[in-house]
Amino acid sequence: MATNGGKGNGNGNTLPKIQTKKSDEICHDDSGPPVKACTLDELHSLQKKKSSVPTTPKASAAAAFSDDDRQKQQLQSISASLASLTRETGPKVVKGDPSATKKVETPQAAVAHPKHHSHHHVVPTNLNISDSALKSTHILYNLSPAELYEQAIKFEKGSFITSSGALATLSGAKTGRSPRDKRIVKDETTVQDLWWGKGSPNIEMDEHSFLVNRERAVDYLCSLEKVFVNDQFLNWDPKNRIKVRIVSARAYHSLFMHNMCIRPTPDELDTFGTPDFTIYNAGQFPCNRYTHYMTSSTSIDINLSRKEMVILGTQYAGEMKKGLFSLMHYLMPKRHILSLHSGCNMGKDGDVALFFGLSGTGKTTLSTDHNRFLIGDDEHCWSEDGVSNIEGGCYAKCIDLSREKEPDIWNAIKFGTVLENVVFEEHTREVDFSDKSVTENTRAAYPIEYIPNAMIPCVGPHPKNVILLACDAFGVLPPVSKLSMSQTMYHFISGYTALVAGTEDGIKEPTATFSACFGAAFIMLHPTKYAAMLAEKMKKHGATGWLVNTGWSGGSYGSGSRLKLAYTRKMINSIHSGALLRANFTKTDVFGFEIPTQVEGVPSEILDPVNTWSDKKAYKETLLKLGGLFKKNFEGFVNYKIGADNKLTEEILAAGPNF
């Protein structure tokens, strides 16, 4: 064995001599100065930098409070929200993750060594001793998406980070809303204000039953080691903003609402104060089926007088979103503001369009236009100042999603986005959006700023066009029609589309679907009240109503063909530009629609549906059949008077199909 002259080690073997480069006889050291920590805990504490002080100047009243005073006031407000009605006191609450904070029951230690703790300070409230004060409930307050990811991954089974960075999670046994389990407290006020009875989505419950469910939800949440609290806003209109507090048991729910509501700045949180409305989401815990009005283990209860909502027996996050939408459908009309289930976009010249449509009509696709700014995709208000988005995010369907069909939604599915009930490849975590193994109702919830052309803040001037979308599988509605004001109200109240349903013997046929105001499940007042407000605002601001059929032409489903999206976009663009308003029109039979004789880029022969049917007799029969379905649906509204006399009601009825 070769050697290089080193000394032996006593066993006859030799080791090479280590040569060290020297510079002026001093060894070069590139290790840098040692860390300023004596323990691993101290080293880990150096990783987390405290939040920077907000740069926005505080109001004088807010500036009078110290940080400790604000922390104490904030926690007392949260404790009051969680107060038991029978014990008349809230739980002892402290801020911070119990798994990351040591000796939380001795707050003096936290005060003595504040640098060893994260910015979620451990500050107990000063409350009277009660049963609920025997333990501390840790409050995870307005956590960031990164913090909520950590909570979900650590503690919620079924939570994974997908290849695009989104958080995939499961909503449990319920993968959609439970409208039959939604209840509204019927009291002295709501018995007069709300729409009750046949056709109404409002199912009543009494105050006592609500309080039983509230107590059950609060006791469950207070029994947990930690709960998530979000303080956020609804409505981008600063004059009509609503403060909401969401108390939940899952990081998934907290992140979902972080995305869907408007996110406050640090300064706004400092002055948030008492919320206008509170949600208690105890969805992992069932309601007591022996409680009066309960028909299952699920209950979604709204008490408008107490300004509270309770969720039991369902973890589907969409219940919170739509519960707040129902609230806005009640609160906003009281301020003479119209709440709308619609998409909304704006052109570069400030022209705003509203898009109404049920599922499958193309509302999301047509309101998302790269040549226009997106104000919002689902929920809006129309006030004296213009339109505003109610939400701070989008809740998009994901089934069969592709980059080619919906590039904006595809690109929005990244870090911070919640993916509900999707299926992904076990190793790569790549999502298969075509897989319906869990549910067909797969969803993505993401902040609206993830859409490149989103209008921030999400407000705009008064709309110029109101577009009602219908996917008519009967194939008899024109591709585009200009509506009179009475027709706009009639078809807004009707909320028509047609679905294709499979029968037992395998034959498929269209089924008419009507949803008042294009969102019957969420409205609180009678549909004619919203319609009257819509007509009033359209008249005042000179908006035009349109009906656009995105469904079939040349025959019903099975014999005709779906109208090309490219043609529909041409017609929508012609509405936006104002060119269609200047077109020549002819009137159709039965429905009395005004249809254009020409639209640039669209074959003229398809503009009147009778031209596309080879069997004219079948066309007439189908047209009369659909007209009859409209008439039958509208029977529920004929006896409702609008205004001091019955004139407007008669005008609306006359605007329906006549034969």
Q: Which of 214, 322, 380, 526 is flagged as catalytic? A: 322
Q: Which of 163, 359, 561, 604 is flagged as catalytic? A: 359
The whole-angstrom distance between residue 63's C-alpha and the CA centroid of its chain comes to 34
Q: Which of 301, 378, 408, 472 is flagged as catalytic? A: 378
* 574 carries an active-site annotation: no
Q: How far is residue 68 from each of residues 94, 122, 270, 272, 488, measured CA to CA in Å?
A: 13, 11, 11, 15, 56
* 245 carries an active-site annotation: no
* 322 carries an active-site annotation: yes
Q: Which amino acid is at 262?
A: I
Q: Which of 443, 462, 526, 529 is flagged as catalytic? A: 443
* Alpha helices (H) in 224-311, listed in sequence order: 251-260, 266-270
| Distinct helix (H) and strand (E) counts, the chain | 17, 32
Contact 154, 140 (CB under 8 A): no
Contact 82, 91 (CB under 8 A): yes
Q: Which of 120, 341, 482, 537 is flagged as catalytic? A: 341
Q: How far apart are CA 387 and CA 563, in angstroms?
A: 30
* 582 carries an active-site annotation: no
* 402 carries an active-site annotation: no
362's enclosing H/E stretch is: none
Q: How far apart are CA 501 and CA 367, in angstroms?
A: 26
527's enclosing H/E stretch is: helix 527-541
Tokens of 343: 């998409």
The whole-angstrom distance between residue 198's C-alpha and the CA centroid of its chain comes to 28
* 214 carries an active-site annotation: no
Name residues whose C-beta falls within 8 Å of residue 81's C-beta, 6 or more positions apart in sequence.
Answer: 90, 245, 247, 275, 278
Q: Which of 120, 263, 321, 363 is flagged as catalytic? A: 363
Q: Which of 364, 497, 513, 544 is flagged as catalytic? A: 364
Contact 261, 242 (CB under 8 A): no
Q: Which of 138, 177, 491, 570 is flagged as catalytic? A: 177
Contact 141, 229 (CB under 8 A): yes
* 363 carries an active-site annotation: yes
* 377 carries an active-site annotation: no
Q: How far is residue 403 from each of residues 127, 409, 411, measured CA to CA in Å?
A: 54, 8, 8
Contact 424, 431 (CB under 8 A): yes
* Alpha helices (H) in 291-385, listed in sequence order: 318-334, 363-367
Tokens of 490: 């009639």
Positions marked active-site: 177, 322, 341, 359, 363-364, 378, 443
